[in-house]
A and B are shown apart, each in its own frame.
Chain A
Amino acid sequence: MEELAITTEVTQYIKIRIQDEYFGIDIKYVDNIVRMQHITRVPMAPSYIKGVINLRGEVIPVFSLRLKMGLEEIEENKSFRIIILKYEGESVGIIVDEVREVANVASNDVEKVYHNNTDSIQNFLSGVGKTENGLISLLDIVEVLNDKAI
Chain B
Amino acid sequence: MDVSQYLDIFIDETKEHLQNLNTHILSLEQDGENMDTINEIFRAAHSLKGMAGTMGYKRMQTLTHDMENVFSEVRNGAIKVDSDMIDLLFKCLDALEEYLATIQETADEGTNDNEPLIKGLNDILNSKNSPKADDGKKEEKEEKIEEKTENKLQEKWKDIKIDDSVKTVIEEGMKKNFKAYGITVYIQEACLLKAARAFLVFKALEDLGEVLLSNPSAQDIEDESFEFDFSVIFLTDKPFDQVISAIKYVSEIEDAVGSEVVFGEEKEAEEEAAASEEKASEEQTLPANTESKPAPSKSSAPASSAASNNNAVEKKTAGKPVVNRTVRVDIEKLDSLMNLVSELIISKNSLVSVAGSVVGTSNISFNEQIEYLESVTTNLHESVMKVRMVPIENTVNKFPRMIRDLSKKLNKKMELYMTGEDTELDRTVVDEIGDPLMHLLRNSADHGLESAEIRAERGKPEVGSIYLDAYQDGNNVVIEVRDDGNGIDIEAVKNKAIEKGKITKEQAEVMSDKEVIDLLFQPSFSTAKVVSDVSGRGVGLDVVKSKIEALSGEIEVKTKLGEGSTFIIRLPLTLAIIQALMVVVGDEKYAISLGAIQTIESISSSDIKKVQGKEVINLRGAVIPLVRLNRILELEDKEDKSQDMIVLIAKKGDRFAGLVVDELIGQMEIVIKPMGKYAGSCKLISGATILGDGEVALILDANALI
Contact = CB atoms under 8 A, between A and B. Distances in A.
Given A38-B695, A54-B690, A59-B690, A43 B684 contact: yes
Contacts of A65: none
B116 interface: no
B343 interface: yes
B695 to A, nearest CB: 6
Contact of B679 (A38, A45, A54, A57): A45
A63 B678 contact: yes
B634 interface: yes
Interface in A37-78: 38, 40-46, 49, 51-54, 57-61, 63
Interface string B679-700: 1101011011110001111100
Interface string B338-349: 000001001000
A53 B684 contact: no
A61 B633 contact: no
B678 A40 contact: no
B685 A59 contact: no
A43 B629 CA distance: 11
A101 interface: no
A59 B632 CA distance: 23
Contact of A59 (B588, B634, B673, B680): B673
Contacts of B697: 40
A38 B695 CA distance: 7
Contacts of B696: 38, 40, 51-54, 59
Contact of B678 (A44, A54, A92): A92
B504 to A, nearest CB: 28
Nearest to B680: A45
What's the dominant secondary structure at chain A's contact region?
strand
A59 B678 contact: no
A49 B690 contact: no
A58 B694 CA distance: 10
Nearest to B685: A42
B578 to A, nearest CB: 15
A46 B680 contact: yes
A90 interface: yes
Given A40-B696, A52-B688, A54-B690, A59 B682 contact: no
Contacts of B695: 38, 40, 54
B633 A90 contact: no
Given A40-B688, A43-B685, A44-B684, A57 B678 contact: no
Nearest to A52: B696
Contact of A42 (B343, B635, B694, B698): B698
B574 to A, nearest CB: 19
Contacts of A102: none
A61 B676 contact: yes
Contacts of B676: 59-61, 90-92
B634 A43 contact: yes
A145 interface: yes
Contacts of A52: 675, 679, 688, 696, 698
B674 interface: yes
B168 to A, nearest CB: 66
Contacts of A63: 678
B678 A49 contact: yes
Interface in B655-690: 673-680, 682, 684-685, 687-690
Contacts of B685: 42-43
A43 B677 contact: no
A80 B652 CA distance: 44
Interface residues of B, number: 27
Contact of B677 (A42, A54, A90): A90
A49 B679 contact: yes
A51 B680 CA distance: 10
A144 to B, nearest CB: 11
Contacts, number: 74
Contacts of A45: 679-680, 682
Interface in A75-115: 90-92
B679 to A, nearest CB: 4
A60 B673 CA distance: 10
B698 A61 contact: no
Given A54-B690, A59-B674, A43 B682 contact: yes
A61 B698 CA distance: 12
Interface string B533-559: 000000000000000000000000000
A90 B634 contact: no
A91 B675 CA distance: 9
Interface string B426-469: 00000000000000000000000000000000000000000000
Nearest to A53: B696
Interface centre among A38, A53, A58, A59, by most chain B C-beta atoms within 10 angstroms, is A59
Nearest to A37: B694
Contacts of B698: 40, 42-43, 52
Interface string B592-636: 000000000000000000000000000000000000000011110
A42 B698 CA distance: 8
Contacts of A54: 690, 694-696
Interface string B189-220: 00000000000000000000000000000000
A42 B634 contact: no
A40 B680 contact: no
A13 to B, nearest CB: 22
A58 B684 contact: no
Nearest to B671: A57
Given A52-B696, A54-B696, A59 B688 contact: yes
Nearest to B696: A40
Contacts of B634: 43-44
A34 B343 CA distance: 22
Contacts of B632: 43
A140 B685 CA distance: 30
A145 B678 contact: yes
Contacts of B679: 42, 45, 49, 52, 61
A61 B678 CA distance: 6
Nearest to B683: A44
Contacts of A92: 676, 678
Contacts of A91: 676
Interface string B360-385: 00000000000000000000000000
A90 B674 CA distance: 11
A45 B681 CA distance: 7
A44 B682 contact: yes
Contacts of A53: 696
A42 B588 CA distance: 10
A62 to B, nearest CB: 9
Given A52-B675, A54-B696, A41 B680 contact: no
A25 to B, nearest CB: 16
Nearest to B697: A40
A43 B586 CA distance: 12
Closest 8 CB pairs of A and B: A45-B680, A61-B679, A40-B696, A43-B633, A59-B673, A59-B688, A92-B678, A44-B682
29 contacts: A38-B695, A40-B697, A42-B682, A42-B685, A43-B632, A43-B682, A44-B633, A45-B680, A45-B682, A49-B679, A49-B680, A51-B696, A53-B696, A54-B690, A57-B346, A57-B673, A57-B690, A58-B673, A59-B674, A59-B675, A59-B676, A59-B687, A59-B688, A59-B689, A59-B696, A61-B676, A61-B679, A61-B680, A92-B676
Interface of A: 38, 40-46, 49, 51-54, 57-61, 63, 90-92, 145
Given A52-B675, A59-B688, 11 more contacts: A43-B633, A43-B685, A45-B679, A52-B679, A54-B694, A57-B673, A57-B690, A59-B674, A60-B676, A90-B676, A92-B676
